[in-house]
A and B are shown apart, each in its own frame.
Chain A
Amino acid sequence: MFQSESVQIKKIKKGNEQAFARLYEQYADYALRTAFAITKNKYDASDVVQETFIRVYRNIHSFDIKRPFRPWFYRILINECKRHLHKKTTHAIIVESTEVLEFLHAKGMESVHVEHVMLALENLTEDERTLIVLKYLDGFKEKELAEVMELNVNTIKSRLYRARQRLKAILRGGVLDD
Protein backbone atom coordinates (compact mmCIF):
# COMPACT_ATOMS: atom_id res chain seq x y z
CA MET A 1 0.00 0.00 0.00
CA PHE A 2 1.20 3.50 -0.78
CA GLN A 3 2.35 5.39 2.30
CA SER A 4 -0.29 8.10 1.82
CA GLU A 5 -3.10 5.54 1.51
CA SER A 6 -1.86 3.74 4.61
CA VAL A 7 -1.98 7.01 6.58
CA GLN A 8 -5.43 7.69 5.19
CA ILE A 9 -6.72 4.26 6.26
CA LYS A 10 -5.26 4.74 9.75
CA LYS A 11 -7.19 8.01 10.00
CA ILE A 12 -10.40 6.31 8.89
CA LYS A 13 -9.82 3.63 11.50
CA LYS A 14 -9.87 6.43 14.05
CA GLY A 15 -13.19 7.69 12.68
CA ASN A 16 -11.87 10.63 10.64
CA GLU A 17 -14.73 11.57 8.30
CA GLN A 18 -12.58 13.76 6.05
CA ALA A 19 -10.20 10.90 5.36
CA PHE A 20 -13.19 8.71 4.54
CA ALA A 21 -14.54 11.39 2.18
CA ARG A 22 -11.17 11.47 0.41
CA LEU A 23 -11.24 7.71 0.06
CA TYR A 24 -14.73 7.97 -1.45
CA GLU A 25 -13.51 10.61 -3.88
CA GLN A 26 -10.67 8.33 -4.87
CA TYR A 27 -12.68 5.13 -5.37
CA ALA A 28 -16.29 6.15 -6.10
CA ASP A 29 -16.04 6.75 -9.86
CA TYR A 30 -14.65 3.35 -10.70
CA ALA A 31 -16.74 1.63 -8.05
CA LEU A 32 -19.89 3.07 -9.66
CA ARG A 33 -18.71 2.14 -13.16
CA THR A 34 -17.80 -1.38 -12.06
CA ALA A 35 -21.08 -1.93 -10.23
CA PHE A 36 -22.97 -0.56 -13.24
CA ALA A 37 -21.19 -2.90 -15.63
CA ILE A 38 -22.01 -5.87 -13.38
CA THR A 39 -25.56 -5.00 -12.29
CA LYS A 40 -26.51 -3.36 -15.61
CA ASN A 41 -28.47 -0.61 -13.87
CA LYS A 42 -26.99 2.66 -12.64
CA TYR A 43 -29.43 3.01 -9.74
CA ASP A 44 -28.60 -0.50 -8.57
CA ALA A 45 -24.94 0.48 -8.94
CA SER A 46 -25.55 3.46 -6.66
CA ASP A 47 -27.20 1.22 -4.02
CA VAL A 48 -24.32 -1.26 -4.27
CA VAL A 49 -21.64 1.40 -3.92
CA GLN A 50 -23.51 2.99 -1.02
CA GLU A 51 -23.67 -0.34 0.82
CA THR A 52 -20.03 -1.08 -0.05
CA PHE A 53 -18.70 2.15 1.47
CA ILE A 54 -20.85 1.70 4.57
CA ARG A 55 -19.43 -1.80 4.98
CA VAL A 56 -15.91 -0.54 4.39
CA TYR A 57 -16.30 2.12 7.09
CA ARG A 58 -17.81 -0.29 9.58
CA ASN A 59 -15.28 -3.02 8.88
CA ILE A 60 -12.19 -0.88 8.50
CA HIS A 61 -10.99 -1.98 11.96
CA SER A 62 -10.55 -5.48 10.64
CA PHE A 63 -8.54 -4.40 7.60
CA ASP A 64 -4.88 -5.38 7.92
CA ILE A 65 -2.97 -2.17 7.19
CA LYS A 66 0.01 -4.14 5.86
CA ARG A 67 -2.04 -5.49 2.96
CA PRO A 68 -3.09 -3.62 -0.18
CA PHE A 69 -6.39 -1.82 0.22
CA ARG A 70 -7.72 -1.95 -3.36
CA PRO A 71 -8.29 -5.74 -3.58
CA TRP A 72 -9.94 -5.67 -0.14
CA PHE A 73 -12.23 -2.86 -1.24
CA TYR A 74 -13.13 -4.53 -4.53
CA ARG A 75 -13.79 -7.86 -2.82
CA ILE A 76 -16.44 -6.12 -0.74
CA LEU A 77 -17.78 -4.34 -3.84
CA ILE A 78 -18.00 -7.53 -5.89
CA ASN A 79 -19.63 -9.44 -3.03
CA GLU A 80 -22.14 -6.62 -2.71
CA CYS A 81 -22.85 -6.77 -6.46
CA LYS A 82 -23.44 -10.52 -6.17
CA ARG A 83 -25.71 -10.08 -3.16
CA HIS A 84 -27.66 -7.46 -5.05
CA LEU A 85 -27.97 -9.55 -8.20
CA HIS A 86 -29.15 -12.61 -6.29
CA LYS A 87 -31.68 -10.47 -4.41
CA LYS A 88 -32.96 -9.18 -7.73
CA THR A 89 -33.00 -12.49 -9.56
CA THR A 90 -36.72 -13.06 -9.11
CA HIS A 91 -37.55 -9.62 -10.44
CA ALA A 92 -35.02 -9.55 -13.24
CA ILE A 93 -36.06 -8.82 -16.77
CA ILE A 94 -34.45 -11.61 -18.71
CA VAL A 95 -32.97 -10.54 -21.99
CA GLU A 96 -33.28 -13.35 -24.49
CA SER A 97 -29.69 -14.37 -25.19
CA THR A 98 -30.45 -15.62 -28.66
CA GLU A 99 -32.07 -12.33 -29.62
CA VAL A 100 -29.08 -10.38 -28.36
CA LEU A 101 -26.67 -12.64 -30.20
CA GLU A 102 -28.65 -12.45 -33.41
CA PHE A 103 -28.71 -8.68 -33.14
CA LEU A 104 -24.99 -8.48 -32.55
CA HIS A 105 -24.14 -11.02 -35.22
CA ALA A 106 -26.29 -9.19 -37.74
CA LYS A 107 -24.15 -6.12 -37.16
CA GLY A 108 -21.05 -8.10 -38.18
CA MET A 109 -18.87 -5.70 -36.23
CA GLU A 110 -15.26 -5.12 -37.12
CA SER A 111 -14.59 -3.18 -33.94
CA VAL A 112 -15.98 -2.91 -30.42
CA HIS A 113 -18.86 -0.45 -30.19
CA VAL A 114 -19.76 1.32 -26.99
CA GLU A 115 -23.48 0.66 -27.28
CA HIS A 116 -22.96 -3.08 -27.75
CA VAL A 117 -20.51 -3.79 -24.95
CA MET A 118 -23.07 -3.79 -22.15
CA LEU A 119 -25.37 -5.97 -24.22
CA ALA A 120 -22.58 -8.42 -24.94
CA LEU A 121 -21.51 -8.53 -21.27
CA GLU A 122 -24.98 -9.75 -20.38
CA ASN A 123 -24.22 -12.94 -22.25
CA LEU A 124 -21.25 -13.78 -20.10
CA THR A 125 -21.58 -15.56 -16.77
CA GLU A 126 -21.49 -13.41 -13.64
CA ASP A 127 -17.88 -14.40 -12.89
CA GLU A 128 -16.74 -13.86 -16.49
CA ARG A 129 -18.38 -10.43 -16.55
CA THR A 130 -16.74 -9.51 -13.24
CA LEU A 131 -13.31 -10.59 -14.49
CA ILE A 132 -13.63 -8.65 -17.75
CA VAL A 133 -14.79 -5.52 -15.95
CA LEU A 134 -12.10 -5.64 -13.27
CA LYS A 135 -9.38 -6.35 -15.80
CA TYR A 136 -10.31 -3.99 -18.64
CA LEU A 137 -12.23 -1.25 -16.88
CA ASP A 138 -10.39 -1.10 -13.55
CA GLY A 139 -7.02 -2.27 -14.86
CA PHE A 140 -6.43 -5.02 -12.30
CA LYS A 141 -3.36 -7.21 -12.62
CA GLU A 142 -3.89 -11.00 -12.54
CA LYS A 143 -2.41 -11.17 -9.03
CA GLU A 144 -4.86 -8.58 -7.74
CA LEU A 145 -7.73 -10.35 -9.49
CA ALA A 146 -6.70 -13.55 -7.74
CA GLU A 147 -6.97 -11.75 -4.41
CA VAL A 148 -10.34 -10.18 -5.19
CA MET A 149 -11.86 -13.39 -6.55
CA GLU A 150 -10.06 -15.60 -4.00
CA LEU A 151 -8.70 -17.87 -6.71
CA ASN A 152 -5.15 -18.75 -7.73
CA VAL A 153 -3.41 -16.77 -10.46
CA ASN A 154 -3.41 -19.62 -13.00
CA THR A 155 -7.15 -20.10 -12.63
CA ILE A 156 -7.63 -16.37 -13.13
CA LYS A 157 -5.48 -16.44 -16.28
CA SER A 158 -7.40 -19.29 -17.86
CA ARG A 159 -10.81 -17.90 -16.89
CA LEU A 160 -9.88 -14.48 -18.16
CA TYR A 161 -8.69 -15.90 -21.47
CA ARG A 162 -11.91 -17.87 -21.84
CA ALA A 163 -14.06 -14.86 -20.90
CA ARG A 164 -12.23 -12.69 -23.42
CA GLN A 165 -12.67 -15.28 -26.18
CA ARG A 166 -16.36 -15.58 -25.43
CA LEU A 167 -16.82 -11.83 -25.40
CA LYS A 168 -14.93 -11.49 -28.65
CA ALA A 169 -17.08 -14.19 -30.20
CA ILE A 170 -20.25 -12.45 -29.05
CA LEU A 171 -19.16 -9.03 -30.22
CA ARG A 172 -17.76 -10.16 -33.54
CA GLY A 173 -20.32 -12.74 -34.44
CA GLY A 174 -18.19 -15.78 -33.70
CA VAL A 175 -19.40 -19.09 -32.30
CA LEU A 176 -19.83 -19.57 -28.59
CA ASP A 177 -18.25 -22.72 -27.28
CA ASP A 178 -21.08 -23.61 -24.90
Chain B
Amino acid sequence: MTEDEKFIRELTGALKNSTEEATDLKEETWKNIRSELFPTQIKKRPFTWRKGILAACSGIAVMTIIFFALVTDMFTDEIKMNPNQDSNDIDEVKDLPAQDNDTKQDHKETEKQQLLEERFPKEKQAEIEMEGDKYPITVHLATNEELRYIIYYDKAFYKFVSEAGIDRIVSISDDHELDVPEVAMEIKYISEQTETKVIENIKNGLNKEGFFILREEKVETPIDGYMIEAIQDENGGVWNTAVHRYYIKSNKDGSLFVFKQMFFVEAFEGHAIRFNQMLESFQQIVD
Protein backbone atom coordinates (compact mmCIF):
# COMPACT_ATOMS: atom_id res chain seq x y z
CA MET B 1 0.00 0.00 0.00
CA THR B 2 1.44 3.39 -0.99
CA GLU B 3 1.66 6.24 1.49
CA ASP B 4 -1.08 8.07 -0.42
CA GLU B 5 -3.41 5.06 -0.27
CA LYS B 6 -2.74 4.70 3.44
CA PHE B 7 -3.52 8.37 4.01
CA ILE B 8 -6.78 8.13 2.06
CA ARG B 9 -7.87 5.01 3.92
CA GLU B 10 -7.15 6.63 7.27
CA LEU B 11 -8.83 9.86 6.20
CA THR B 12 -12.00 8.05 5.13
CA GLY B 13 -12.15 6.18 8.43
CA ALA B 14 -11.47 9.31 10.46
CA LEU B 15 -14.14 11.28 8.57
CA LYS B 16 -16.70 8.57 9.20
CA ASN B 17 -15.88 8.35 12.89
CA SER B 18 -15.71 12.08 13.51
CA THR B 19 -19.10 12.73 11.87
CA GLU B 20 -20.91 9.84 13.54
CA GLU B 21 -22.47 12.02 16.26
CA ALA B 22 -24.47 14.05 13.69
CA THR B 23 -26.55 10.98 12.87
CA ASP B 24 -28.01 11.16 16.42
CA LEU B 25 -30.23 13.95 15.09
CA LYS B 26 -31.69 11.89 12.26
CA GLU B 27 -35.06 11.22 13.93
CA GLU B 28 -35.46 14.77 15.24
CA THR B 29 -34.62 16.19 11.81
CA TRP B 30 -37.22 13.96 10.15
CA LYS B 31 -39.89 15.07 12.63
CA ASN B 32 -39.20 18.69 11.73
CA ILE B 33 -39.34 17.95 8.01
CA ARG B 34 -42.67 16.14 8.42
CA SER B 35 -44.18 18.93 10.47
CA GLU B 36 -43.29 21.40 7.70
CA LEU B 37 -44.38 19.30 4.73
CA PHE B 38 -47.22 17.25 6.17
CA PRO B 39 -48.67 19.50 8.87
CA THR B 40 -51.95 17.63 9.34
CA GLN B 41 -50.17 14.58 10.67
CA ILE B 42 -48.07 16.67 13.07
CA LYS B 43 -49.41 20.05 14.14
CA LYS B 44 -46.13 21.29 15.63
CA ARG B 45 -44.36 24.16 13.85
CA PRO B 46 -41.01 23.17 12.35
CA PHE B 47 -38.20 23.70 14.78
CA THR B 48 -34.70 24.73 13.88
CA TRP B 49 -31.92 24.89 16.38
CA ARG B 50 -31.09 28.42 15.25
CA LYS B 51 -34.76 29.50 15.50
CA GLY B 52 -34.97 27.87 18.94
CA ILE B 53 -32.20 30.07 20.26
CA LEU B 54 -33.75 33.13 18.59
CA ALA B 55 -37.15 32.26 20.10
CA ALA B 56 -35.63 32.13 23.56
CA CYS B 57 -34.05 35.56 23.00
CA SER B 58 -37.38 36.90 21.62
CA GLY B 59 -39.14 35.63 24.74
CA ILE B 60 -36.79 37.62 26.91
CA ALA B 61 -37.28 40.68 24.65
CA VAL B 62 -41.08 40.38 24.87
CA MET B 63 -40.93 40.14 28.65
CA THR B 64 -38.74 43.24 28.69
CA ILE B 65 -41.20 45.14 26.45
CA ILE B 66 -44.14 44.12 28.65
CA PHE B 67 -42.24 45.30 31.71
CA PHE B 68 -41.50 48.68 30.13
CA ALA B 69 -45.06 48.95 28.81
CA LEU B 70 -46.37 48.48 32.34
CA VAL B 71 -43.93 51.02 33.69
CA THR B 72 -44.87 53.46 30.87
CA ASP B 73 -48.57 52.91 31.52
CA MET B 74 -48.07 53.81 35.15
CA PHE B 75 -46.16 56.88 33.99
CA THR B 76 -49.00 57.87 31.57
CA ASP B 77 -51.49 57.66 34.38
CA GLU B 78 -49.31 60.11 36.24
CA ILE B 79 -49.34 62.46 33.19
CA LYS B 80 -53.14 62.43 33.05
CA MET B 81 -53.14 63.50 36.65
CA ASN B 82 -50.70 66.29 35.86
CA PRO B 83 -52.00 68.90 33.29
CA ASN B 84 -48.67 70.75 33.10
CA GLN B 85 -46.99 68.26 30.81
CA ASP B 86 -44.69 68.99 27.90
CA SER B 87 -46.67 69.74 24.65
CA ASN B 88 -44.79 67.01 22.70
CA ASP B 89 -46.44 64.41 24.87
CA ILE B 90 -49.86 65.88 24.04
CA ASP B 91 -49.17 65.67 20.26
CA GLU B 92 -48.38 62.02 20.64
CA VAL B 93 -51.63 61.47 22.49
CA LYS B 94 -53.55 63.31 19.72
CA ASP B 95 -52.25 60.79 17.18
CA LEU B 96 -53.86 57.92 19.00
CA PRO B 97 -57.48 58.23 17.76
CA ALA B 98 -56.31 57.97 14.13
CA GLN B 99 -54.55 54.73 14.98
CA ASP B 100 -57.77 53.55 16.58
CA ASN B 101 -59.69 54.23 13.36
CA ASP B 102 -57.18 52.24 11.36
CA THR B 103 -57.46 49.41 13.80
CA LYS B 104 -61.25 49.47 13.56
CA GLN B 105 -60.99 49.39 9.75
CA ASP B 106 -58.62 46.44 9.98
CA HIS B 107 -61.05 44.69 12.29
CA LYS B 108 -63.90 45.28 9.81
CA GLU B 109 -61.83 43.84 6.98
CA THR B 110 -60.90 40.87 9.13
CA GLU B 111 -64.53 40.30 10.07
CA LYS B 112 -65.55 40.36 6.39
CA GLN B 113 -62.75 37.96 5.48
CA GLN B 114 -63.64 35.65 8.32
CA LEU B 115 -67.15 35.21 7.02
CA LEU B 116 -66.00 32.95 4.20
CA GLU B 117 -63.38 31.38 6.39
CA GLU B 118 -66.03 30.50 8.93
CA ARG B 119 -68.30 28.94 6.37
CA PHE B 120 -65.76 26.53 4.93
CA PRO B 121 -63.23 24.25 6.63
CA LYS B 122 -59.76 25.78 6.75
CA GLU B 123 -58.24 22.55 5.57
CA LYS B 124 -59.56 19.24 4.39
CA GLN B 125 -58.44 15.93 2.98
CA ALA B 126 -58.61 15.48 -0.77
CA GLU B 127 -57.45 12.96 -3.31
CA ILE B 128 -55.25 13.62 -6.29
CA GLU B 129 -54.88 11.28 -9.23
CA MET B 130 -51.59 11.07 -11.07
CA GLU B 131 -50.73 8.54 -13.75
CA GLY B 132 -53.68 6.41 -12.73
CA ASP B 133 -52.85 6.27 -9.00
CA LYS B 134 -54.79 8.14 -6.34
CA TYR B 135 -53.02 9.83 -3.42
CA PRO B 136 -54.45 11.49 -0.32
CA ILE B 137 -53.40 15.12 0.21
CA THR B 138 -54.33 17.94 2.57
CA VAL B 139 -55.65 21.13 0.97
CA HIS B 140 -56.04 24.57 2.55
CA LEU B 141 -58.68 27.25 2.11
CA ALA B 142 -57.97 30.56 0.37
CA THR B 143 -60.68 33.21 0.09
CA ASN B 144 -61.30 36.47 -1.71
CA GLU B 145 -64.06 38.34 0.12
CA GLU B 146 -64.43 41.08 -2.47
CA LEU B 147 -64.83 38.71 -5.39
CA ARG B 148 -66.70 36.25 -3.18
CA TYR B 149 -64.85 33.09 -4.07
CA ILE B 150 -62.99 30.29 -2.35
CA ILE B 151 -60.37 27.86 -3.58
CA TYR B 152 -58.39 25.08 -1.90
CA TYR B 153 -54.65 24.58 -2.46
CA ASP B 154 -51.83 22.47 -1.03
CA LYS B 155 -49.61 24.49 1.34
CA ALA B 156 -46.83 21.93 1.06
CA PHE B 157 -46.18 23.16 -2.47
CA TYR B 158 -47.80 26.57 -2.87
CA LYS B 159 -48.60 29.88 -1.23
CA PHE B 160 -51.56 32.16 -1.90
CA VAL B 161 -50.73 35.83 -2.55
CA SER B 162 -52.79 38.86 -3.62
CA GLU B 163 -51.09 41.62 -5.57
CA ALA B 164 -52.53 44.46 -7.66
CA GLY B 165 -55.98 42.91 -7.87
CA ILE B 166 -54.70 39.53 -8.99
CA ASP B 167 -54.64 36.49 -6.73
CA ARG B 168 -51.82 34.06 -7.33
CA ILE B 169 -51.15 30.56 -6.11
CA VAL B 170 -47.39 30.39 -6.39
CA SER B 171 -45.04 27.43 -6.14
CA ILE B 172 -42.85 27.77 -3.06
CA SER B 173 -39.94 26.05 -4.79
CA ASP B 174 -37.24 28.68 -4.74
CA ASP B 175 -34.20 26.93 -6.10
CA HIS B 176 -33.16 29.35 -8.79
CA GLU B 177 -30.26 27.18 -9.89
CA LEU B 178 -32.73 24.61 -11.16
CA ASP B 179 -33.42 26.77 -14.21
CA VAL B 180 -37.16 26.33 -14.47
CA PRO B 181 -39.71 28.93 -15.58
CA GLU B 182 -42.19 30.48 -13.15
CA VAL B 183 -44.75 28.10 -11.65
CA ALA B 184 -47.99 29.78 -10.56
CA MET B 185 -51.71 30.07 -11.17
CA GLU B 186 -53.20 33.54 -11.47
CA ILE B 187 -56.85 34.24 -10.78
CA LYS B 188 -58.03 37.41 -12.46
CA TYR B 189 -61.51 38.94 -12.52
CA ILE B 190 -62.57 40.87 -15.62
CA SER B 191 -65.84 42.79 -15.77
CA GLU B 192 -65.58 45.05 -18.80
CA GLN B 193 -64.68 42.74 -21.67
CA THR B 194 -66.56 40.07 -23.56
CA GLU B 195 -65.35 36.48 -23.57
CA THR B 196 -64.45 36.77 -27.26
CA LYS B 197 -62.33 39.85 -26.61
CA VAL B 198 -60.58 38.24 -23.63
CA ILE B 199 -59.74 35.12 -25.68
CA GLU B 200 -58.42 37.29 -28.50
CA ASN B 201 -56.23 39.26 -26.06
CA ILE B 202 -54.85 36.08 -24.52
CA LYS B 203 -53.93 34.65 -27.92
CA ASN B 204 -52.26 37.90 -28.98
CA GLY B 205 -50.32 37.96 -25.72
CA LEU B 206 -49.17 34.37 -26.17
CA ASN B 207 -48.09 35.12 -29.71
CA LYS B 208 -46.04 38.13 -28.60
CA GLU B 209 -44.31 36.05 -25.93
CA GLY B 210 -43.34 33.39 -28.47
CA PHE B 211 -45.83 30.74 -27.39
CA PHE B 212 -47.49 28.27 -29.76
CA ILE B 213 -51.04 27.15 -29.10
CA LEU B 214 -51.29 23.41 -28.51
CA ARG B 215 -55.02 23.16 -27.79
CA GLU B 216 -58.04 25.40 -27.42
CA GLU B 217 -61.50 24.13 -26.69
CA LYS B 218 -64.59 24.33 -24.54
CA VAL B 219 -64.19 22.24 -21.42
CA GLU B 220 -66.36 21.02 -18.57
CA THR B 221 -63.54 20.04 -16.22
CA PRO B 222 -61.76 21.19 -14.14
CA ILE B 223 -64.08 24.13 -14.69
CA ASP B 224 -66.92 24.86 -17.07
CA GLY B 225 -65.36 27.28 -19.55
CA TYR B 226 -62.89 27.75 -22.40
CA MET B 227 -59.32 26.47 -22.35
CA ILE B 228 -56.21 27.60 -24.24
CA GLU B 229 -52.94 25.71 -23.79
CA ALA B 230 -49.67 26.96 -25.27
CA ILE B 231 -45.98 26.06 -25.20
CA GLN B 232 -42.92 28.21 -25.73
CA ASP B 233 -41.45 25.98 -28.42
CA GLU B 234 -42.97 24.99 -31.71
CA ASN B 235 -41.32 21.55 -31.60
CA GLY B 236 -42.51 20.52 -28.15
CA GLY B 237 -39.51 21.81 -26.24
CA VAL B 238 -37.41 20.12 -23.58
CA TRP B 239 -38.19 19.21 -19.95
CA ASN B 240 -38.12 22.81 -18.70
CA THR B 241 -39.83 24.56 -21.64
CA ALA B 242 -42.54 26.94 -20.38
CA VAL B 243 -46.21 26.01 -20.76
CA HIS B 244 -49.08 28.46 -20.21
CA ARG B 245 -52.64 27.24 -19.86
CA TYR B 246 -55.66 29.51 -19.56
CA TYR B 247 -59.19 28.76 -18.41
CA ILE B 248 -61.84 31.39 -19.01
CA LYS B 249 -65.02 31.10 -16.98
CA SER B 250 -67.99 33.32 -17.86
CA ASN B 251 -70.44 34.49 -15.24
CA LYS B 252 -74.15 35.16 -15.73
CA ASP B 253 -73.66 38.92 -15.33
CA GLY B 254 -71.18 39.02 -18.22
CA SER B 255 -68.08 39.21 -16.03
CA LEU B 256 -65.31 36.62 -16.32
CA PHE B 257 -62.72 34.81 -14.31
CA VAL B 258 -59.44 34.08 -16.09
CA PHE B 259 -57.18 31.42 -14.60
CA LYS B 260 -53.65 31.47 -15.97
CA GLN B 261 -51.58 28.40 -15.17
CA MET B 262 -47.82 28.67 -15.68
CA PHE B 263 -45.59 25.60 -15.48
CA PHE B 264 -43.18 23.62 -17.69
CA VAL B 265 -43.16 20.43 -19.76
CA GLU B 266 -41.85 18.11 -17.01
CA ALA B 267 -44.59 19.42 -14.68
CA PHE B 268 -47.49 18.25 -16.89
CA GLU B 269 -47.72 15.31 -14.48
CA GLY B 270 -47.17 17.46 -11.39
CA HIS B 271 -48.04 21.14 -11.08
CA ALA B 272 -50.46 21.00 -14.02
CA ILE B 273 -52.52 18.30 -12.33
CA ARG B 274 -52.39 20.10 -8.98
CA PHE B 275 -53.52 23.38 -10.54
CA ASN B 276 -56.48 21.64 -12.15
CA GLN B 277 -57.36 20.01 -8.87
CA MET B 278 -57.36 23.46 -7.23
CA LEU B 279 -59.61 24.74 -9.99
CA GLU B 280 -62.09 21.96 -9.31
CA SER B 281 -62.42 23.34 -5.77
CA PHE B 282 -63.06 26.89 -7.02
CA GLN B 283 -66.46 28.18 -5.92
CA GLN B 284 -68.15 31.53 -6.29
CA ILE B 285 -70.28 32.23 -3.25
CA VAL B 286 -73.73 33.67 -3.79
CA ASP B 287 -75.08 35.16 -0.56
- Give chain A's interface residues, CB within 8 Å of chain B: 10, 13-17, 20-21, 24, 28-29, 32-37, 42-47, 49-50, 53-55, 57-62, 64, 75-76, 79, 111-118, 132-133, 136-137, 164, 167-168
B266 lies within 8 A of A44 (CB)? no
Question: From A84, which residue of chain B is reached at the shortest CB distance?
Answer: B50
Contact of A111 among B10, B33, B157, B172 (CB under 8 A): B10
A47 lies within 8 A of B15 (CB)? no
Whether B24 sits at the interface, judged by CB under 8 Å, is yes
Contact of A28 among B26, B133, B174 (CB under 8 A): B26
Q: Closest Cβ of chain B: how far from A81's Cβ, in Å?
A: 12
Q: Closest Cβ of chain B: how far from A28's Cβ, in Å?
A: 5
B22-49 near A? 1/0 per residue, CB < 8 Å: 1111101110110011100000001011
Whether B267 sits at the interface, judged by CB under 8 Å, is yes
B261-287 near A? 1/0 per residue, CB < 8 Å: 000101101110000000000000000
A29 CA to B31 CA, complexed, in Å: 15
Main secondary structure of the interface of A (DSSP, over half): helix
Residues of A within 8 A of B130 (CB): 13-15
New A-B contacts (18) at CB < 8 Å, excluding given A45-B22, A46-B32: A13-B130, A14-B130, A14-B270, A17-B37, A28-B23, A29-B26, A42-B21, A46-B49, A47-B50, A53-B29, A55-B174, A57-B33, A58-B171, A61-B267, A76-B175, A112-B13, A116-B14, A137-B16
- Which of under 10, 10 to 19, 20 to 34, or 35 or more describes the interface residues of B? 35 or more
Q: Closest Cβ of chain B: how far from A100's Cβ, in Å?
A: 15
Residues of A within 8 A of B171 (CB): 58
Contact of A114 among B17, B28, B50, B239 (CB under 8 A): B17
